[in-house]
């Protein structure tokens, strides 16, 4: 049976792992991302997502180097993104050991890039990051450019568009829920899961293990978290135990998983 | 035997770096081989691969790697096909038409079933159930989870070639072996402790 995945997210700003609260990044969690990976490797994380949220595009080189050093220690799928604006940089991240590419702004500003990368590396390699924000009128709309630009797009429509452009998976986050400790935006998450036939990774807002289970319950194939996994001792082990006790099929450590 | 070297066949398809990293982690020297002439000096080789079957076979044929692999395998050297690499060692594939493969394994590549509720590709962690005893299973438990990403599956004609099966809508062959040729449908290099142990075992195969 296919297991539900527990995904650790590393938010990187200028090469350091930082805490994210409503897309603002202040506290540094790890100065060296490799330390975070080494801990997760011991604790049966199912996948690592690394996002470069630095405001400056010039951070691309440094991020690619961090991907390279992290990949040497990462023996689960490694998904990377942030500032993927051209084919060469996408290739560089993959050559440096990334398994999948996360794209966000390209789905609005450069759809041809998404199509090209999907055709070249396969749909399974392309993850559509969809960030949403609730407007003052109460509508949920898609945000691009590291959450700075709200576009007039409905998340469900956007998810379908992402699939049509060649995405093989969706990484969902809500700016209102990010770091807000109240769990995922379950309403929007469930709508997206019901609308597209792609695996969906839920992210943004996990503060209790129950929140992970809620995301799976809303239809997600994978439950992702950042801060809580970094700050809790043996976090992934505890999270997995909780999910298993809640009747959710998860990968448990084998004899050699430890 | 110290620091045994393994040829990692580089033919422009897939994540070579992950495979290199994994071999380094288990104490073997992975050597990228893109020149077919260099394959002859190895006794162990891995054929990785992510992407389309047709393009992969074209790359192998045009570079002369197909001929080099035929010689390599006929001499009794060990070959491990991973993911697309496992499909390439089969007779043929129905992916995007009908295409002949390397033909080291009496098996065909067919699509995963499209059923309600089953997303394709089959992506994520799923269990391998052992169908026999084999040295490649040393220190690995039947039922362990490994990481899959694929839309097509291998169907062996000879049941004796099936070492392990997995289940996604239908049971499918996830580890196969025919003589000196092995195949793994999942990514051992991305399957954490279990995957690394399988690679360790491949290195140690006599």
What CATH number is associated with residue B151? 3.40.50.880
Query: B82 with B49: CB under 8 angstroms?
Result: yes
- Whole-angstrom distance, CA of residue A69 vs CA of residue A115: 29
- Reduced to 3 states (helix: H, G, I; strand: E, B; else coil), residue A129 is strand
* pLDDT at site A114: 97
Which pLDDT does position A19 carry in this prediction?
Answer: 86
Lowest mean pLDDT among A23-27, A93-97, B25-29, B136-140: A23-27
For A203-222, the pLDDT digits (tens) are 999 999 999 999 999 999 99
Average pLDDT over residues A118-125: 90
B2 pLDDT exceeds 60? no
A126 touches chain B (CB under 8 A): no
Closest CA to B16 of B111, B83, B101: B83
Give the separation between CA B93 and CA A99, rounded to whole angstroms: 24
Q: Is B110 on the interface with A (CB under 8 A)?
A: no
Q: How confident is the model at residue A192 (pLDDT cuts 50, 70, 90)?
A: very high
Instruction: Count how many Cα atoms sit within 13 Å of the Cα of residue A106 in the half-sphere of its side chain.
Output: 27
Q: Which helix (H) or strand (E) holds A52?
A: strand A47-52
Number of domains in chain B: 1
A257–B140 CB contact, under 8 Å:
no
Q: Which of B14, B15, B53, B185 to mutate to test binding with chain A, by most A CBs within 10 Å of its CB?
A: B15
Residues A96 and A66: their CA atoms lie apart, in Å, by 9
Pairing of strands B170-178, B181-184: antiparallel
Flag whether residue A247 sits within 8 Å of chain B, measured between CB atoms.
Answer: no
Mean pLDDT of chain B: 94
Contacts of A191 (CB under 8 A, 6+ apart): A155, A156
Reported confidence tier of residue A250, pLDDT bands at 50, 70, 90: very high
Structural domains of chain A in order of their starting residue, each with its CATH number: 5-245 (3.20.20.70)
For the cut 50, the answer to whether the pLDDT of residue A256 exceeds it is no
Cα B205 to Cα B182: distance, rounded to the nearest angstrom:
11
Question: Is 90 exceeded by the pLDDT of residue A257?
Answer: no
Of the candidates A198, A180, A192, the residue with the CA atom closest to the CA atom of residue A218? A192
Answer yes or no: is pLDDT of B158 > 80: yes
CB contact under 8 A, B50 and A124: yes
Two tokens at A21?
């609260």
Percent of chain B with pLDDT over 70: 98
Nearest-CA neighbor of B14 among B60, B47, B62, B38? B47
Half-sphere exposure of A75 (CA within 13 A, CB side): 30
The alpha carbon of A60 is separated from its chain's Cα centroid by a whole number of angstroms, namely: 18
> What's the CA gap between A38 and A236, in Å, rounded?
13
Average pLDDT rounded to a whole number, residues B150-171:
96
The yes-or-no verdict on residue B14 having pLDDT over 60 is: yes
Residue A208 confidence (pLDDT): 95
Predicted local distance difference test score (pLDDT) of residue A38: 81
Burial grade of A68 (CB within 10 A; 0-12, 13-18, 19 or more): middle
- Give the model's confidence band at A253: pLDDT under 50 very low, under 70 low, under 90 confident, else very high: low
Are the beta carbons of B134 and B163 closer than 8 angstroms? yes
- What is the per-residue pLDDT for A217? 98
Which B positions 155-174 lie with beta carbon below 8 A of chain A? Answer: 167-168
**Which is it for the CA torsion B133, B139, B144, B145, positive or negative?**
negative
| Residue B187 is among the residues annotated as catalytic for this protein | yes
Residue B36: is its pLDDT beyond 50? Answer: yes
pLDDT at B16: 86
Q: Which two tokens stand for residue B105?
A: 């394994």
Residue A241, pLDDT score: 93
Please identify among residues 82-111 of chain A the ones whose CB lies closer than 8 Å to any CB of chain B: 94-97, 99
Q: Is residue A239 pLDDT above 50, yes or no? A: yes
In which band, very low, low, confident or very high, does the pLDDT at B117 lie, cut at 50, 70 and 90? confident
Nearest residue on chain B to A78, alpha-carbon basis: B190
| Boundaries of domain holding B181 | 5-204
For residue B3, name the pLDDT band (cuts at 50, 70, 90): low
Tell whether B11 lies on the interface with A, counting CB pairs under 8 A. no
- Please say if A131 is a catalytic residue: yes
CA distance A63 to A18: 13
Confidence check: pLDDT of B116 > 70: no
Per DSSP, A78 falls in state: E
Q: Which of A32, A46, A88, A131 is catalytic?
A: A131
Average pLDDT, rounded, for chain A: 92
- Of residues A95, A222, A252, nearest to B17 (C-beta): A95
Contacts of B51 in chain A (CB under 8 A): 121-122
- Determine the angle formed by the axes of helices A209-217 and A186-195, rounding to 10 degrees: 30
* DSSP H helical ranges for chain A: 33-42, 60-71, 87-95, 106-109, 111-121, 155-165, 186-195, 209-217, 227-231, 235-245
Contact B17 A257 (CB under 8 A): no
Averaged pLDDT, A49-71: 95
Indicate if the pLDDT at residue A102 is higher than 70: yes
pLDDT value for A258: 35
Q: What are B48's two structure tokens?
A: 């990785």
List pLDDT tens digits, range A152-166. 999 999 999 999 999
Distance from CA of A198 to the nearest CA of B (A): 7
């Amino acid at each position: 049976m296919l297991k539900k995945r527990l995904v650790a997210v590393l938010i990187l700003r200028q090469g350091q792992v930082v805490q994210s609260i409503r897309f603002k990044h202040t506290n540094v969690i790890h100065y060296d991302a490799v330390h975070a990976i080494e801990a997760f490797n011991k604790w049966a994380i199912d996948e690592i997502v690394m996002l470069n949220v630095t405001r400056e595009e010039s951070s691309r080189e440094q991020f690619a180097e961090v991907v390279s050093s992290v990949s040497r220690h990462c023996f689960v799928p490694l998904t990377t993104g942030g500032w993927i604006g051209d084919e060469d940089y996408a290739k560089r991240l993959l050559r440096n050991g990334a398994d999948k590419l996360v794209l966000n702004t390209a789905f609005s500003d450069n759809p041809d890039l998404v199509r090209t990368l999907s055709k070249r590396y396969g749909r399974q390699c392309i993850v559509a990051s969809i960030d949403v924000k609730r407007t003052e009128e109460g509508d949920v709309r898609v945000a691009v450019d590291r959450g700075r630009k709200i576009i007039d797009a409905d998340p469900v429509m956007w998810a379908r568009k992402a699939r049509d452009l060649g995405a093989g998976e969706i990484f969902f986050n809500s700016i209102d829920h990010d770091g807000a400790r109240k769990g995922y935006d379950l309403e929007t998450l469930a709508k997206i899961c019901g609308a597209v036939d792609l695996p969906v990774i839920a992210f943004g807002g996990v503060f209790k293990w129950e929140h992970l289970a809620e995301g799976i319950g809303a239809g997600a194939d994978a439950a992702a978290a950042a801060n809580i996994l970094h700050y809790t001792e043996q976090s992934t082990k505890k999270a997995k135990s909780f999910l298993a006790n809640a009747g959710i099929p998860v990968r448990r450590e084998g004899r050699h998983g430890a | 035997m110290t620091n045994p070297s393994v040829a990692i066949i580089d033919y422009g398809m897939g994540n070579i770096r992950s495979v290199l990293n994994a071999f380094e982690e288990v104490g073997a020297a992975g050597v990228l081989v893109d020149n077919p002439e260099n394959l002859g000096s190895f006794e162990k080789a891995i054929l990785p691969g992510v992407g389309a079957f047709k393009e992969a076979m074209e790359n192998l044929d045009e570079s002369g790697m197909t001929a080099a692999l035929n010689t390599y395998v006929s001499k009794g050297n060990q070959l491990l096909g991973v993911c697309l690499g496992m499909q390439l060692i089969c007779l043929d594939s129905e992916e995007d038409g009908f295409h002949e493969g390397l033909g080291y394994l009496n098996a065909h590549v067919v699509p995963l079933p499209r059923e309600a509720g089953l997303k394709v590709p089959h992506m994520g962690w799923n269990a391998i159930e052992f169908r026999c005893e084999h040295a490649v299973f040393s220190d690995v438990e039947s039922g362990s989870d490994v990481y899959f990403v694929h839309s097509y599956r291998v169907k062996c004609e000879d049941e004796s070639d099936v070492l392990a099966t997995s289940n996604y809508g239908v049971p499918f062959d996830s580890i196969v072996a025919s003589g000196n040729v092995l195949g793994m449908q999942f990514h051992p290099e991305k399957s954490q402790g279990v995957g690394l142990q399988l690679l360790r075992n491949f290195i140690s195969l006599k």
